[in-house]
Chains A and B, each alone.
Chain A
């Protein structure tokens, strides 16, 4: 399919067979099907294999530092609330290096789509444990196997009252696209954790493993945070789908109290006369 959201003339740095290809295609198809305007779409990413996805999409991009996509996305929403902002990266990037930013993006209810490719391993640094690596997973560094409790992004987000929490597996194409679309249409912070096999450095969590260890949520009340939490805490098999969705006041709605002042900052200039007045007020307080 000729997708206008795939950037021409790019040399993809991923290994053949990597799950990232699938996610790239799904995301570009969703953008196409939602008929979004490229100019108003910004993808922000950090560093890692997954963070390269925006390079291959024909959209505005700010590819920043490892773990730091979310603060950049926050700044973008502050300056121009009209932009549709997507933060995309891997589990190491978003949950490890950027863990604190993750917590705070959820707390802010930053109005963005947050896509996390979760392959349970560090690919770009060649095979160390990631925050989501399962226990006993052996690597060159974790020679006796991972002993840390795997990071559970869904339950963490839910505990912070995230307004949209979902998990998908990229092989379930239509299901993943459905969730992505719902995330784009959601007002407020939307987390989609996407299972993505790394064919080179993760011999445990393979395509087969993910298929066998996941199931699609059915008859689940997405408005009930307690049952969402319950589902999120269950692992092996992992549930897939939208766990929880409840819109609430977004970051930019709280930032700009009134409608008229939520214009993009680049269209604004301060009133010099008001400044002169304030200066008098501050420097002549005795008058």
Chain B
């Protein structure tokens, strides 16, 4: 049954009352709650209630016991039937924008409260006047009534707007009652005021007109009660915000934490791979979050499974921070090797614990392994060290104990708790003064959350509707594959490990072609193999999403380290010319948000979307606010084909309706050769020209919906970054506290929108910060005629450290100005 057909079963005029829920159509004619096809005066029969039920006080079990009479044809409601409708769907008109704004801020309940209160006040005054006819009571009555009526008019207008915005002028009982009652109230108001204007002394009279005057004032009270009552019963749909709006909204939230100076304490721990360094990282991130702190942690590891020397850095702060530091406040060496490994990173203020072969100015020169062995056993060095840390920082042991209990198997509790206590006691006996530990931030009522860039991206793809992942494993991208594979039991996600990246990407195309939403995860080398398929994707206009987590190349490069070196690869991969989108998130929240956007855009514009992350962002953990997944739009752009369906129909936007095989009457033909509208191979130069043009128009469409760079500050020196440099740059700018500096962060990398770049041309100086040696994004900006004055580049395999970047930026600013 289609939505069209369903609408006939509205329960009126002897028709049965059917409603659809999650694709199933139920017959509710026999329900007492659905007399005349109406339910609670709010809902009517003959429609799909899937969405509305989410706002209902009861669950879906209410349909139990009713007869299933059919299935609602999926997607029917999402299919635009004509070019006109299609266009409407794709372009948000200013009317639509306004409508969305109105839905989000919904002023009607606010405007309605004024007149209600005033009407009560007027009636109260009038009663007082009737008992003691004083002039002040008469005046109070009249002016309260006058303003009540005026505000009532405003409330009515806003109410009608809400009716249109939320209910599309659908006739449902409470709204009709509200409409009649408010007209009635308004008329009484006007009559009362007119009577008073004609005869200002009317209240003192006792003729019929005077009686009517008092009546009009008193009777409005019950009528506003009716208005308020039905108003309260209505569900004002909260509209799902559009993607760009979400982006802006989320950005605003992060702006607040910008330029707030933070107090933090940076702890670094070094040890060999497999020595449990990961355990201590999890334990500490967790305990600090549970104490209400913002945490940031990042690791640096060698490309091996056991041995070597790795570090984790945990920063604990009273405000959001999203960058690592080169020199920690405290370094905890689990073994000797780690001390020599990080020697360069020990600052004059760094307190070093452990390591006997080197000597530092602030140093507890012990062997942690020996101490652990002395107090517990060597095996518990991690928890011993954690306890020690808490002792040194004078933090409550209880919090640590609680976290430990949650992370360890019950059988390991006792020994580890003992190790913590021993470590704590040992530290206290040492009499060491460390840099002041920040006080926890004010409690917001919301518990602190933290997430790594991999998981954040994974959730983004999930809320983007990703339901297939086909990949060949490659660090540092594999985390997303693992994450989604792990969730494939809870969600419908088809996972397949491909024989190579070529297959992985071609599988993605097969998935999308047949109606799925496919993702592949890879890094530079693997993506290079996908270039050929990317070109096919462009030609066949099949959507695709690639999660490309960069690591330093060329070739195998530094497999476990970070770089932003694959922008040019992403920009130019694939033979021939075709549109593509490149996104690069700057932090965990953006990672999530852009994951959703990647799928939305891929589907809507039928282009490949390349999502550029990097090892640093993928592996670092940061605090994140609660994300409301309901806010993300869940649009689907598949149409049911007609018999004469043309896959590559020429349209003004360049986007042709996308049907899939097996859904509808038509056939879906995609061709890697140049093709005509049917998808049939052709060598006609005319068809070629029109198809090249069509594909090109999609690029322009993409440009139009581009997300503007995030701009923080209003100085005239721009510090420009893209992708994962965001956190480091913003920490630096907050430290420098120089009003001339403005952060400009790009997460929508290509195609750039000229309008967005015009803000850059107003700047006196532009400094671009990039984690590569060829200034690849700078080149892209230059192609768009942006004049770049200086670059700060790095390609040593590390992310940008805020305490190093701060000097570099200060230096460049000094040179330029």
Contact = CB atoms under 8 A, between A and B. Distances in A.
Interface of A: 7, 10, 13, 38-42, 44, 47, 52, 55, 58-65, 68, 70-80, 82-83, 100-101, 103-104, 255-256, 261, 263-272, 274-276, 278-279, 282-287
Interface in B465-479: 465, 467-468, 470
15 contacts: A13-B681, A39-B667, A42-B514, A55-B680, A61-B668, A65-B532, A75-B468, A77-B510, A78-B511, A78-B518, A265-B468, A265-B494, A266-B74, A269-B634, A274-B490
A77 B513 CA distance: 10
Pick the 5 closest A-B CB pairs, nearest first.
Answer: A75-B510, A266-B515, A79-B516, A71-B506, A283-B449
Q: Which of B503, B532, B638 has the most chain A CB atoms closer than 10 A to its own CB?
A: B503
B193 interface: no
Nearest to A254: B496
A74 B465 CA distance: 20
B506 A78 contact: no
B679 interface: yes
A47 B287 contact: no
B763 to A, nearest CB: 37
Interface stretch (B354-362, B658-666, B773-781): B658-666
A100 B463 contact: no
A65 B536 contact: yes
Contacts of B289: 286
Interface in B648-672: 660-672
Nearest to A100: B499
The B contact surface, by secondary structure, is mixed
B540 interface: yes
A75 B511 contact: yes
Tier of interface size on chain B: 35 or more
Contacts of A278: 459, 487, 490
Nearest to B588: A283
Contacts of B447: 284, 287
B108 interface: no
Contacts of B638: 266
Contacts of B499: 100-101, 103-104
A100 B455 CA distance: 32
Contacts of B450: 283
A80 B467 CA distance: 12
A62 B667 contact: no
Interface of B: 23, 74-75, 286-287, 289-290, 403, 406, 447, 449-451, 455, 459, 462-463, 465, 467-468, 470, 487, 490-492, 494, 496, 498-500, 502-518, 532-533, 536, 540, 624, 627-630, 634, 636, 638, 660-673, 679-681
A74 B513 CA distance: 11
Given A63-B673, A266-B638, A287-B447, A72 B663 contact: no
B510 A73 contact: yes
A279 B514 contact: no
Nearest to A41: B661
Contact of A268 (B455, B492, B671): B492
A101 B447 CA distance: 49
A279 to B, nearest CB: 6
B467 A268 contact: yes
Given A47-B672, A286-B286, A265 B662 contact: no
Contact of A83 (B503, B509, B662): B662
A76 B672 contact: no
A255 B660 CA distance: 21
Contacts of B670: 61-63
A101 B536 contact: no
A115 B511 CA distance: 21
Given A38-B667, A79-B518, 11 more contacts: A39-B667, A55-B671, A61-B669, A75-B468, A82-B662, A83-B662, A104-B498, A104-B503, A264-B515, A265-B467, A269-B465
B514 A261 contact: no
B286 A285 contact: yes
A41 B662 CA distance: 8
A64 B661 contact: no
A71 B510 contact: yes
